[in-house]
Amino acid sequence: MKRGCFLTLEGGEGVGKTTNLAFIDDFLRRRGIEVVVTREPGGVPVAEKLRELILDETGLLPEAELLLIFAGRVHHVRDKILPALERGQWVVSDRFVDASYAYQGGGRGLSWRRIEYLEDWLVAGCRPDLTFLFDAPVEIGLGRARARGDINRFEEETVAFLERVRQAYLERWRREPGRICRIDASRPLAEVQEAIAARLSRLVETWRK
């Protein structure tokens, strides 16, 4: 059985991840690929419980926040992502490890070295094959997130925090331009989805060979 591909969606607040996740799911299913859609923080019951804590608890220390995220992630990876990939399914996750570098690293100021240590220890063997980074100026995304309502702790952060998150994501992209595909999320949706479809078609073709 050929191992499935692991895709992740990343970006700041209000950049259209949810809409494009549905588009990607549909795109792959139409091509006969079995897809498991998931998210972080969360994805499995214990990690969903931790998600509530992570998104709602005020006053969490950055270190505690990072460790809670990785506590959920280790279950997510071992209980759901790796088994699905082994079964030949594709996994599409709304956020993954890059978000920790962006939010806890860039946003909260924790060193990337510590995050790398956790990643090497807990998530080895589970690198995304392809990551879509939805990138847009902070004000645009924040406006959309606020219009949607139901604001979480991260969406309440200052523009400066979210700007650091954006810059950290862009740094990840500059370091790994082969894996991370940056999408200009301020463009009209039809153009965004055209860019996604083009990149996905290439991946499906390579996978089938």
Identify any residues that bridge with 10 across adjacent strands, giving them in sequence order: 133
Provide the minimum distance between the beta carbon of 146 and ligand TMP in the complex, in angstroms, as a whole number: 13
Tokens of 113: 């070295």
Residue 103 found at the interface with ligand TMP (CB under 6 A): yes
- Per-residue x/- mask for ligand TMP, residues 17 to 56, rule CB under 6 A? -----------------------xx---------------
110 backbone dihedrals φ, ψ, rounded to 5°: -75, 150
Shortest reach from residue 172's CB to ligand TMP, in Å: 12
For residue 41, the 8-state DSSP code is: S
Residue 75 interacts with ligand TMP (CB under 6 A): yes or no: no
Instruction: Give CA–CA dist 5/87, Å, rounded.
Output: 11
Give the residue with the Cβ less far from ligand TMP, 33 or 138. Answer: 138
Q: How far is the CB of 11 from ligand TMP (least distance, A)?
A: 9
Instruction: Round to whole Å and give the CA distance between 150 and 50.
Output: 18
Q: Using CA atoms, how far apart are residues 134 and 10, in angstroms rounded to an integer?
A: 6
Of 152 and 201, nearer to ligand TMP (C-beta) is 152
110 interacts with ligand TMP by CB under 6 A: no
* CA proximity to 183, closest of 164, 202, 167, 196: 196
95 touches ligand TMP by CB under 6 A: yes
Phi-psi label, residue 42: left if phi above 0, alpha if psi -120 to 50, beta otherwise: left
* Cβ-based nearer residue to ligand TMP, 75 or 95: 95
For residue 154 the two structure tokens come to: 């991260």
Site residues (CB under 6 A) for ligand TMP, limited to 123-182: 152, 154
The one segment of 30-38, 97-105, 126-134, 189-197 that binds ligand TMP by CB under 6 A: 97-105
User: How far apart (Å, rounded) are the C-alpha atoms in residues 149 and 136?
Assistant: 19
Where on the chain is the footprint of ligand TMP (CB under 6 A)?
40-41, 69, 95, 99-100, 103-104, 152, 154
